[in-house]
Structures are given as structure tokens and as C-alpha cells.
Amino acid sequence: MNEILSMLYLWLKAAHLIFVIFWMAGLFMLPRFFVYHQESAVGSQEDAKWIEREGKLRKIILNPSLVIVWVVGLLLAYNIDAFSQGWFHAKLLFVLALSGYHGWMIGYSRKLASGERTMSDKGLRLVNEVPGITAAIIVILVIVKPF
């Protein structure tokens, strides 16, 4: 398996980066959708359109990208023996946190679909900063490898 992974390493790395970009785009879009969704009246046609848009974003971009990022990322980590490197442990922690954020957003989209609006627009705008800050930390860990 190591030979196959070594031959495909650059392709896997490219795929990982491509799907990280897709995932991050979705993580930035969904909270913005929530801000607009909350402005619509529960049960209105506009509410239904936002529910549909959020569902498509989850099913077409967010969830598949998350799965591919994890599978390909773990293959890459195995191939370079990253599990024994400190920078990777830190990266893994932040990727787990970002995955948890992803899960929270899925849950919040379900709340919106059921008519619950538990966060303020300001709060949603604030949590929209989480993926950007987390991505910056992850990139620094991967490129600089500070430890």
C-alpha cells in the first residue's frame, strides 16, 4: 500500500487541498445563509427556499467535502508518517474542532428548518470567523511545522 500511496502522493495532496477549499467555502457560506434565513418568516415561501438552499449546500458541498478531506488527509498522514510528528497532532486537533463546528452548523440548520431561531445575527456573524481563524492556524502548522 505504501508504494501505491507514494505514487499517488501528489495527486492525493492536490485532491486534499481542492476539497479543503470546497469545505471551507461551504463553512463560510452556511452561516451567511443563516443570517438571511433568520430574516424570513417561519413557514413562508422564503423560509422554504432557505431550507432548500441550506440542504443543497450541506448535501452537495459540505458533507462530501468533509468526508473526502478526512479520508485523503489520513492517507497522506499515513504516507508521510505524520502521526509521529508534533505539528500533525496540533493540526489534527484543529481539524477535529473544525469538524465539530461543521456538525454544529448542520444542527443549527435543522433548528432553522424547524422554525427555531436561537442565535442573533451578530452571533452568527461572529461564529462565521471560526473557519477562517482555524484555517490560518492549520496552514501555519502544515507549512511552518513549528514543532
Q: Give binding residues as ranges.
A: 16, 91
Q: Which amino acid would we find at residue 59?
A: K
Count of other CB atoms within 10 angstroms of residue 34: 25
Residues at the binding site for heme are 16, 91
Closest CA to 27 of 102, 126, 123: 102
Using CA atoms, how far apart are residues 65 and 30, in angstroms rounded to an integer? 14
The alpha carbon dihedral of 46, 51, 57, 59 has a sign of negative
50-70 exposure pattern, b = at least 16 Cβ within 10 A, e = fewer: bbebbeebbeebbeebbebbb
Which cell goes with 60? 452537495
Using an 8 Å Cβ cutoff, are 68 and 15 in contact?
A: yes
